[in-house]
């Protein structure tokens, strides 16, 4: 992989400065940077074939329809699904909400929904709502000492009353990769459905939903080079057919009359009421092409290497507390000894380095980690070892965090 | 009484208040007004408690969790406002917020609080330097409305 060449494709990596320093972007778990080809694709849509989808009989509208469905096929290919199993959403949160509310009619009083303490708010709060409405019970699969989920603990937590198991493929705080395939095998020995939050996995590794055998998988475009506001809900076709749409309106019905009788479209259109995010879809198309050209296996390998290098270097800093040395993906969660995470965040800002601080929307996990908050550096394939060196040097001097306010250099 | 404070002195004052925050305790005395300030974007959770009698801030307390900037700025605020009339307190508060937002301000009333004059260098931290002060403002304004 020619990282120098790749970096030329990203306008944000060509001379942008922050606090007078060259920008080092280590907040990829929040959102990725976008390559020029994605920006060009969005502009191309508005400049050359601006039209609504599924609406017009004229050429440019037809072109939008073709591109829209081609993108669906492209994404299906990307995760080895069928195109009719790909529902466009706004983001992962929306996808998870669509599944939770869509499955709600099937949940009864006393049914159990199985989650984990490491989940992001997006994969907890919709289920809390379902549990509240249906008087269902939320249970948590215990984490191991280091914060992992194991099949063993899953087995102990599954019961005849378990209706849903919903888990992140990769934890957005600790970066552990869930063994989705083994989990699916175990879960499918029961009646339960397996929902996977793929926000932190799909952008970083090769995904094959048929091999993994999860029932639903939600992810966001903006974490994988596409614009914000576009995401995907994958569901096994039969399950989608059996699911209620969260939103109603134009484009999702076949017919309706004055008595309120509504005929529903088949999936995926059933779940796509209203004018979709067309620029998002068009940008997603370009993003998938870009990722495919590099190859997800290569991206995965490169990001694991960056993580490994960062850990190796950070372990030599006595003032750095690492929370996830052993995890595989490109997420490093840490604290500088004696420095509140957000103070560290400003300090890194003053060095031109973007990191995330606080609870990372996984507010239950802080109890597990026994800290008020952490700093998270998350890498993407376009990051470099040299950037990590600058970052590690900043960590080494992190005790002087008030430099952010008083250093004149 | 203008004196020039070096950066080193300002750092020390912040670290001192961060390490030994003043007036940091919780009371269940119902005569105190309590305001809870938390933030969507950060993990600070700060409670301000004030005892106001005859338009005088008899006591100002705080407790909660915060970063160095929110802890030190709230600690300094409680010291500065304790014993002041609500009118004086409002004036000090206005000057502080003007300083934070880089507007002309009267530094004669801010004492140690001027250590936060550089906050605008890190715009994302303005909310930390003002969280306690905004809480106090709510108490003062609520006080006005009651009469």
Please name the residue of chain A whose CA is at the shortest distance from the CA of residue B40. Answer: A361
Last residue of a domain, one of A273, A293, A313: A293
Last residue of a domain, one of A293, A328, A362: A293
Domain parsing of chain B, residue ranges: 7-146
Nearest chain B Cα distance for residue A222, angstroms = 20
CATH number, domain B7-146 = 3.90.1010.10
Tell me if chain B has a CB within 8 Å of the CB of A101: no
A173 and A287 both lie in a single domain? yes
d(C-alpha A345, C-alpha A336), whole Å = 10
Whether the pLDDT of residue A333 is over 80: the answer is yes
The two tokens of residue A119 are 């989940």
Check CB contact under 8 Å for A408 and B7. Answer: yes
Instruction: Give residue A408's pLDDT.
Output: 63
Check CB contact under 8 Å for A404 and B121. Answer: yes
Instruction: Give residue B146's pLDDT.
Output: 45
Please state, rounded to an integer, the average pLDDT across all residues of chain A: 95
Check CB contact under 8 Å for A406 and B66. Answer: no
Tell me if chain B has a CB within 8 Å of the CB of A404: yes
A359 and A264 both lie in a single domain? no
In a mutational test of the B interface, the residue from A341, A342, A367, A408 whose CB has the highest number of chain B CBs within 10 Å is A342
Last residue of a domain, one of A226, A259, A293: A293
Chain B contact set for A406 (CB, 8 A): 7, 10-11, 118
H/E element holding A367?
A: helix A365-369
H/E element holding B37?
A: strand B33-38
Residues 6+ apart with CB under 8 A from A238: none
Please name the residue of chain B whose CA is at the shortest distance from the CA of residue A340. Answer: B67
A178 and A45 both lie in a single domain? yes
Instruction: Give residue B143's pLDDT.
Output: 56
Check CB contact under 8 Å for B124 and A345. Answer: yes
Q: What is the CATH number of the domain that holds A396?
A: 3.90.1150.10
The two tokens of residue A12 are 């944000």
Chain B contact set for A372 (CB, 8 A): 43, 65
Instruction: Give residue A405's pLDDT.
Output: 87
d(C-alpha A220, C-alpha A225), whole Å = 10
Residue spans of chain B under pLDDT 50: 1-2, 146-147
- Can the peptide bond before residue A268 be classed as cis, meaning omega within 30 degrees of 0? yes
Establish, for the pair of chains A and B, how many residue pairs have beta carbons separated by less than 8 Å. 50
Q: b/e for B70-99, b at 16 or more Cβ within 10 A? A: bbbbbbbbbebbbebebebbbebbebbbeb
Nearest CB to B69; choose among A343, A358, A372: A343
A129 and A213 both lie in a single domain? yes
Check CB contact under 8 Å for A405 and B122. Answer: yes
Chain B contact set for A365 (CB, 8 A): none
d(C-alpha A409, C-alpha A391), whole Å = 17
Instruction: Give residue B144's pLDDT.
Output: 54
Answer left, alpha or beta for residue A366, where phi above 0 means left and psi between -120 and 50 means alpha. alpha
Q: Cα A401 to the chain's mean position, in Å?
A: 31
Cα A204-A206-A209 angle, rounded to 5 deg:
120
Tell me if chain B has a CB within 8 Å of the CB of A200: no
- Residues 371-400, chain A, touching B (beta carbon < 8 A): 372-373
d(C-alpha A72, C-alpha B100), whole Å = 49
Tell me if chain A has a CB within 8 Å of the CB of B67: yes
- Residues 348-367, chain A, touching B (beta carbon < 8 A): 349-350, 357-359
Instruction: Give residue A237's pLDDT.
Output: 98
Q: Mean of the pLDDT values across residues A303-310?
A: 97
A378 and A266 both lie in a single domain? no
A299 and A289 both lie in a single domain? no
Check CB contact under 8 Å for A341 and B122. Answer: no
Chain A contact set for B66 (CB, 8 A): 340
Nearest chain B Cα distance for residue A339, angstroms = 8
The two tokens of residue A241 are 């057919």
Instruction: Give residue A54's pLDDT.
Output: 79
Whether the pLDDT of residue A300 is over 80: the answer is yes
Tell me if chain A has a CB within 8 Å of the CB of B19: no
A152 and A259 both lie in a single domain? yes
A144 and A230 both lie in a single domain? yes
A79 and A48 both lie in a single domain? yes
Check CB contact under 8 Å for B68 and A359. Answer: no
Please tell me the total count of domains within chain A: 2
A200 and A113 both lie in a single domain? yes
Check CB contact under 8 Å for B7 and A406. Answer: yes
Whether the pLDDT of residue A318 is over 80: the answer is yes
Q: b/e for A140-158, b at 16 or more Cβ within 10 A? A: ebebeeebbbbeebbeebb
Nearest CB to A373; choose among B7, B14, B43: B43
Instruction: Give residue A55's pLDDT.
Output: 73
Tell me if chain A has a CB within 8 Å of the CB of B7: yes
Instruction: Give residue A404's pLDDT.
Output: 86
Give residue A117's pLDDT band: very low, low, confident or very high (50, 70, 90): very high
Instruction: Give residue A403's pLDDT.
Output: 86
Q: Cα A311 to the chain's mean position, in Å?
A: 23
Chain B contact set for A339 (CB, 8 A): 68
Tell me if chain A has a CB within 8 Å of the CB of B68: yes
Whether the pLDDT of residue A250 is over 90: the answer is no
Structural domain of residue A202, as residue ranges? Answer: 39-293
Instruction: Give residue A358's pLDDT.
Output: 86
Check CB contact under 8 Å for A406 and B15. Answer: no
A265 and A360 both lie in a single domain? no
Please name the residue of chain A whose CA is at the shortest distance from the CA of residue B125. Answer: A346
Q: How many CB atoms lie within 10 A of CB B25?
A: 10
Check CB contact under 8 Å for A340 and B11. Answer: no
Query: Is A241 one of the annotated active-site residues of the chain?
Result: no
Check CB contact under 8 Å for B67 and A406. Answer: no
Task: Report the helix count and the strand count for chain B, using DSSP H and E.
Answer: 4, 3
Residues 6+ apart with CB under 8 A from B8: none
A289 and A300 both lie in a single domain? no
Chain B contact set for A369 (CB, 8 A): none
pLDDT one-digit tens code per residue, A164-222: 999 999 999 999 999 999 999 999 999 999 999 999 999 999 999 999 999 999 999 99
Please name the residue of chain B whose CA is at the shortest distance from the CA of residue A407. Answer: B7
Residue with tokens 């198991």: A165
Q: What is the CATH number of the domain that holds A238?
A: 3.40.640.10
Q: What percent of chain A is modeled with pLDDT above 70? A: 100
């Amino acid at each position: 992989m020619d990282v120098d060449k790749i970096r030329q494709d990203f306008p944000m990596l060509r001379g942008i400065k922050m606090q007078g320093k060259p920008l080092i972007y280590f907040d990829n778990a929040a959102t990725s940077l976008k390559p020029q080809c994605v920006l060009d694709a969005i502009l191309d849509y508005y400049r050359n074939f601006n039209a609504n989808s599924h609406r017009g009989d004229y050429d440019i509208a037809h072109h939008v329809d073709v591109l829209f469905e081609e993108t669906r096929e492209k994404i299906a290919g990307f995760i080895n699904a069928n195109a009719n199993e790909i529902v466009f959403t706004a983001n992962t949160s929306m996808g998870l909400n669509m599944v939770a509310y869509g499955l709600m009619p099937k949940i009864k009083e006393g049914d159990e929904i199985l989650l984990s303490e490491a989940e992001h708010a997006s994969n907890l709060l919709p289920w809390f709502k379902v549990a509240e409405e249906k008087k269902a019970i939320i249970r948590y699969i215990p984490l191991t000492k280091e914060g992992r989920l194991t099949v063993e603990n899953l087995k102990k937590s599954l019961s005849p009353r378990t209706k849903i198991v919903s888990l992140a493929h990769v934890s957005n705080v600790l970066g552990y990769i869930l063994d989705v395939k083994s989990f699916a095998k175990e879960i499918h020995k029961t009646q339960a459905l397996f929902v996977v939050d793929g926000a932190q996995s799909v952008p970083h590794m090769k995904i094959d939903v048929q091999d993994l055998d999860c029932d639903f998988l939600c992810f966001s475009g903006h974490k994988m080079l596409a614009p914000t506001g576009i995401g995907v809900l994958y569901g096994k076709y039969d399950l989608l057919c059996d699911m209620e749409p969260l939103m109603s309106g134009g484009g999702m019905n076949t017919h309706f009359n004055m008595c309120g009788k509504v005929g529903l479209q088949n999936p995926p259109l059933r779940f796509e009421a209203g004018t979709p995010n067309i620029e998002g879809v068009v940008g997603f198309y370009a993003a998938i092409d870009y990722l495919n050209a590099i190859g997800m296996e290569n991206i995965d390998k490169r990001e694991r290497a960056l993580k490994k290098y960062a850990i190796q270097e950070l372990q030599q800093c006595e003032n750095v507390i690492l929370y996830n040395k052993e995890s595989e993906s490109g997420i490093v969660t840490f604290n500088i000894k004696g420095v509140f995470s957000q103070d560290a965040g400003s300090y890194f800002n003053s060095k031109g380095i973007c990191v995330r601080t606080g609870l990372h929307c996984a507010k239950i996990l802080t109890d597990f980690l026994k800290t008020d908050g952490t700093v998270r550096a998350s890498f993407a394939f376009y990051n470099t070892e040299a950037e990590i060196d600058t970052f590690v040097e900043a960590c080494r001097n992190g005790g002087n965090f008030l430099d952010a306010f008083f250093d004149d250099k | 009484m203008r004196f020039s404070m070096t950066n080193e002195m300002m750092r020390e004052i912040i670290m001192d208040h961060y390490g030994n925050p003043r007036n940091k305790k919780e009371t269940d005395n119902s005569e105190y007004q309590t305001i809870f300030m938390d933030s969507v974007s950060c993990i600070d959770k700060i409670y301000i408690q004030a005892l106001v009698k005859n338009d005088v801030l008899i006591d100002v307390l705080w407790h909660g969790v915060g970063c160095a900037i929110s802890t030190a700025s709230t600690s300094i605020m409680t010291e500065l406002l304790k014993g002041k009339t609500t009118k004086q307190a409002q004036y000090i508060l206005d000057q502080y917020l003007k300083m934070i937002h880089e507007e002309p301000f009267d530094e004669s009333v801010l004492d140690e609080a001027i250590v936060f004059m550089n906050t605008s260098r890190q715009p994302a931290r303005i909310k930390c330097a003002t969280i306690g002060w905004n809480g106090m403002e709510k108490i003062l304004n609520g006080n006005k409305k009651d009469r």
